[in-house]
């Protein structure tokens, strides 16, 4: 079991050297959440005897279509430069996206190699519980013998951050200089963690890429979704038996079925999302940012220019069709609806509808978050506009997730290479270099490079990442104002 060995609180972990970097993978950060621990907050991991082989990623959280997933998924990964440093290194923690139902830290795109090499940082990623196992609220079914807790996936994320505070110094990282970065639901995790009392002090700054900030729901709505879920897996009405004995795949499949149905019946909501339970998550994050109750730390937040065009093709869960959008506006002031629709030329045609849906899920809540947070802490806004010729040709443009190729520097292999088959690789490299420099400056110092000013309510300065990146004041300001008065479902 030769390889770089590190002693942490639970024992010795032995990793491996990968292309000149030291990697430790699949380290348990909490006890396996099975049996009585299913639907409970994470519990401390027991110390192990002898060295732990930490050369491979741990199992993915249970999800549809992934055969090697497992409830034994609460593992964390660390990537660091092989060379030692006299000073502790900044730490960048990435939380993967996937609508809280798919994904894992083992995705090739999320390896973090380029950021570690370029920035000399320590990079951390981890898995957390997804779907019903992590994001449905079954507390109404608790009994004296069996407790169900809220926000289990969110609690996992807090446990991972606590693990980092206890152990990252052993890997050369600085526990006082931790940045948490997430994309999509991972970005929702970031903005939610900023509003979670248990996470206060566990990280020093935050990056939220395409965060559906408003996707958090109250106990009443969550209770209704849980009841529908339970009725689908427990026709005999024995909720406790069904929830505790159903296989992970049965739970994942039932989550997918209910998600697809409610995408039509309650468009603009997500059944797998944090629950504002008044305790672990005491306030809707969008309100917490407005009221100054979020962690007063530097925040870098933004979205892509055409977020919604991804979803009808790959994950059809947002209000990106005429039928869903009309239903989404059911409880909206007709004047607000008219203003919003008028700001999307071509609506209800397909691309305009997708742009509207993506904006109301990702862009508009991120703007609300930024305009609230900038009153209390440094805030930096961006929009990612770059798209190589192929993405323009197929009508996606700069859509949801395409910014990750640039920020991770994943340009030469996999999807990153395929997106530039019709050209644009040198331009994409330039965009990637620019974004990486800003990201790493933020990770090190709490601010991007000096060309990117803080967001203010007077000017709404926004960095536009494109072939030529530049700061613009209040881009799409008329569209932003058109959404004033719209209220997200809770």
State the Cα–Cα distance between residues 470 and 228, nearest whole angstrom: 48
- Collapse the DSSP code of 179 into the 3-class scheme (helix H, G, I; strand E, B; otherwise coil) and give the result: strand
400 labelled catalytic: yes
- Collapse the DSSP code of 70 into the 3-class scheme (helix H, G, I; strand E, B; otherwise coil) and give the result: coil
Q: What's the token pair of residue 156? A: 């996992």
Strands 122-126 and 75-81: antiparallel
Q: Tokens 């007063």 sit at which residue?
A: 296
From the candidates 125, 184, 210, 397, which is the catalytic residue? 184
Q: Tokens 């607000």 sit at which residue?
A: 336
Burial class (CB in 10 A: 0-12, 13-18, 19+), 145: exposed
State the Cα–Cα distance between residues 78 and 54, nearest whole angstrom: 10
State the Cα–Cα distance between residues 176 and 12, nearest whole angstrom: 23
307 labelled catalytic: yes
CB under 8 Å to 169, separation ≥6 — which residues?
Answer: 88, 175
State the Cα–Cα distance between residues 82 and 17, nearest whole angstrom: 8
State the Cα–Cα distance between residues 254 and 258, nearest whole angstrom: 6
User: Within 234-278, where are the H helices?
Assistant: 239-245, 248-265
Taking each helix axis from N to C end, the angle separating 219-233 and 248-265, rounded to the nearest 10 degrees, works out to: 130
- Alpha-carbon torsion, ordered 39, 101, 198, 204, to 10 deg: 160
From the candidates 71, 266, 307, 461, which is the catalytic residue? 307
From the candidates 96, 306, 373, 400, which is the catalytic residue? 400
Taking each helix axis from N to C end, the angle separating 185-193 and 152-167, rounded to the nearest 10 degrees, works out to: 70
Instruction: Verify cis geometry, omega within 30 degrees of 0, for the bond prior to 348.
Output: yes
Q: Which residues are catalytic?
A: 184, 307, 400
């Amino acid at each position: 079991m030769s390889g770089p060995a590190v002693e942490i609180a639970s024992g010795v972990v032995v990793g491996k050297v990968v292309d000149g970097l030291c990697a430790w993978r699949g380290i348990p950060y909490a006890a396996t959440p099975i049996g009585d621990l299913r639907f409970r907050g994470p519990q401390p991991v027991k110390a192990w005897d002898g060295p732990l082989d930490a050369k491979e990623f741990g199992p993915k959280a249970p999800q549809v279509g992934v055969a090697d997933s497992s409830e034994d998924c609460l593992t964390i990964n660390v990537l660091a430069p092989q060379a030692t440093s006299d000073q502790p290194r900044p730490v960048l923690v990435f939380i993967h996206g996937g609508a809280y139902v798919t994904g894992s830290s083992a995705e090739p795109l999320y390896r973090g190699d380029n950021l570690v090499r370029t920035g000399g940082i320590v990079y951390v990623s981890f898995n957390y519980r997804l779907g019903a196992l992590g994001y449905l609220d079954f507390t109404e079914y608790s009994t004296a013998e069996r407790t169900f807790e809220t926000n289990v996936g969110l609690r996992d994320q807090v446990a991972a951050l606590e693990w980092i505070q206890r152990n990252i110094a052993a890997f050369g990282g600085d526990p006082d200089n931790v940045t948490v970065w997430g994309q999509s639901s991972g970005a929702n995790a970031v903005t939610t963690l900023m509003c979670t009392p248990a996470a206060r002090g566990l990280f020093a700054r935050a990056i939220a890429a395409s965060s559906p900030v408003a996707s958090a729901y109250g106990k009443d709505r969550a209770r209704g979704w849980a009841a529908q879920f339970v009725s689908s897996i427990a026709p005999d009405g024995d909720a406790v038996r069904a929830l505790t004995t159903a296989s992970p795949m049965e739970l994942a499949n039932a989550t997918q079925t209910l998600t697809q149905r409610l995408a039509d019946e309650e468009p603009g909501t997500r059944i797998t999302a944090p629950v504002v339970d008044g305790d672990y998550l005491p306030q809707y994050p969008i309100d917490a940012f407005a009221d100054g109750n979020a962690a007063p730390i530097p925040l870098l937040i933004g979205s892509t220019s055409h977020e919604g065009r991804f979803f009808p093709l790959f994950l059809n869960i947002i209000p990106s069709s005429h039928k869903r959008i009309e239903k989404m506006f059911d409880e909206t002031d007709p004047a607000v609806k008219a203003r919003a629709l008028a700001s999307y030329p071509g609506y209800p045609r397909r691309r305009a509808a997708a742009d509207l849906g993506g904006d109301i899920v990702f862009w508009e809540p991120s703007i609300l978050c930024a305009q609230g947070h900038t009153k209390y802490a440094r805030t930096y806004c961006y929009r990612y506009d770059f798209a190589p010729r192929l993405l323009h040709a197929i009508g996606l443009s700069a859509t949801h997730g395409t910014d990750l190729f640039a920020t991770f520097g994943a340009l030469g292999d996999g999807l990153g290479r395929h997106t530039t088959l019709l050209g644009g690789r040198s331009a994409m490299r330039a965009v990637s270099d620019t974004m990486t420099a800003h990201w790493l400056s933020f990770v090190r110092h709490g601010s991007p490079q000096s060309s990117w000013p803080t967001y203010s309510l007077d000017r709404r300065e926004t960095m536009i990442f494109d072939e030529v990146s530049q700061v613009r004041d209040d881009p799409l300001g008329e569209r932003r104002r058109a959404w004033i008065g719209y209220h997200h479902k809770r």
